[in-house]
Structure 1
Amino acid sequence: MSDDQTIYIRINERLIQDLMSSYLKDEDFRVLGVGQEDTVSEQDIIDLKPDIIIDEYQQYQNSSFSAITVSAKDKHSPAFVILDRFEVLSNLQSLISDGISGVLLRNDDKDTLLKCLDAVSKGEFYFNSYLQFEHTNNFANERNINDIQQLTSREVEVLQEMTKLKSNEEIAQSLSISHKTVKNHRYRIGKKLGLSGRGELLRYILRNKKALNLST
């Protein structure tokens, strides 16, 4: 299909490469290539112009490869999904600042992978529901918590669901509203709180979760 989202898989373990490729076979995603850190250059991946890049956490951290650097080198801006082996991630804020769109675990099944890629392809965040994030107190651009009073009760409900790192579709199901309505709520929330972009909104929620009295 010409509308298929294209993906590059940069994973060192051949078994995971093959497993992901098999998961994506006959789906609405087309694998442009697979490679290891030491066998394919970052520029080679950029030249392929994939819509989504799946990268390992450790090699992503140890390289200059990120959504920001790719965007600086080329007008095409792929979404990055990070694959990790641990269920506790300590530096979520820096990953979001780098432009990461999703985080998966190595043992995730096909359904989880497809949910992640589907959300990311729509410009949303996706994080495995089993991930636990250790939050630090140094988020940039922290807004006044009193701004929450500007929000409607429904917008607060959407924020509550967002603290659980749910996708727009999952939030829509939980609140029995449409996917489009969720997007509209998120837009209005960001505007009222003076937050530009999905990354700033997510950082605000995670940083102020306790102060907002939003439970996970």
Structure 2
Amino acid sequence: MNDKINILIADDHAILRDGLKSALSIDESLNIIGEAENGVEVIELCKKLNPDIILMDINMPEMDGIRASKHIKKECHHIKIIILTMFDNRQYISDALSAGIDGFVFKMAHIEELLKAIKTVYDGDEYFDPEVLKIMKQNYLRSDSAKNFDLTPREYEIITYIAKGLTVSEIADTLSISYSTVKNHRHNILSKLNLKNSAELVRYAITEGLIK
């Protein structure tokens, strides 16, 4: 990767922002270009700094991270947002996914997982902590069988892998097919199901009982 990934950190605790900067400094491909301590400030800095990725806390003063994410996705939809929080509240997770965020990682995760999330999201994929999937599974009822949306067996297979938290690259490796083929399958799946992103696809998979 030749270009550095420009990152904006949004968290109301200075000690956590400092810790993140220190932890991320081990990767020379990352460039921390700014910090915000509330939702209003992160929106302003987005316009000035145009980061590639925002690491966004949820519980912040003046404007929370979910409301800020909705605003940023509306005004600067090209900017990727990874929610980084200690809260595993189901409603927070549901609201964050509805805001159109690109990734969700818990603060107790190892730095390796956060780095993986950053690289995955930067490459145009989405990343969700496996714990998010567990919590979502508890929040949606499973039906007896999947509805017929004219999906192919391969598309159902890919839905299952996405719902289990695999990235596009990991699915491609698992199925021994190309990255672009998986991307095309995902695009077709979202189109057939009239869904916007992988987060909504995970909800569909849980509701329809495609993951156990």
Q: Give the TM-score band, short-chain normalised.
A: 0.7 to 0.9
**Higher helix residue share:** 2
CA drift of 1:38 comes to 8.8
Q: Deviations over 1:25-58 (max 9, x none)?
A: 2432211012322994631343111111111122
TM-score, normalised relative to structure 2:
0.79
Amino acid paired to 2:200? R
Identity among equivalent positions (%) equals: 26
Amino acid paired to 1:21? K
CA distance in 1, matches of 2:40, 2:67: 15
CA distance in 2, matches of 1:107, 1:51: 23
* Alignment match of 2:68 (pick from 59, 66, 69): 66
Amino acid paired to 1:31? I
Matched residue, 2:5: 5
Aligned structure 1 segments of 4 or more residues deviating by more than 6 angstroms: none
Q: CA RMSD in A?
A: 3.1
Q: Is contact 1:7-1:54 (8 Å) kept?
A: yes
Amino acid paired to 1:13? H
Matches within 5 A, 1:65-144: 65-73=67-75, 75=76, 77-131=78-132, 132-134=134-136
Q: Is contact 1:49-1:78 (8 Å) kept?
A: yes
Q: Between 153-162 and 34-43, report the one with greater CA deviation.
A: 34-43
Rate the CA distance shift 1:97–1:88 in 2: closer, same or farther, 3 A: closer
Q: Which runs of 5+ in 2 are unaligned?
A: 141-145
Size of the aligned set, in residue pairs, is 205
CA distance in 1, matches of 2:39, 2:139: 33
Matches within 5 A, 1:20-59: 20-25=20-25, 26-37=27-38, 40=41, 42-59=43-60
Q: Between 23-32 and 62-71, report the one with greater CA deviation.
A: 62-71
TM-score, normalised relative to structure 1:
0.78
Q: Which runs of 5+ in 1 are unaligned?
A: 138-144
Matched residue, 2:182: 182
CA distance in 1, matches of 2:29, 2:105: 19
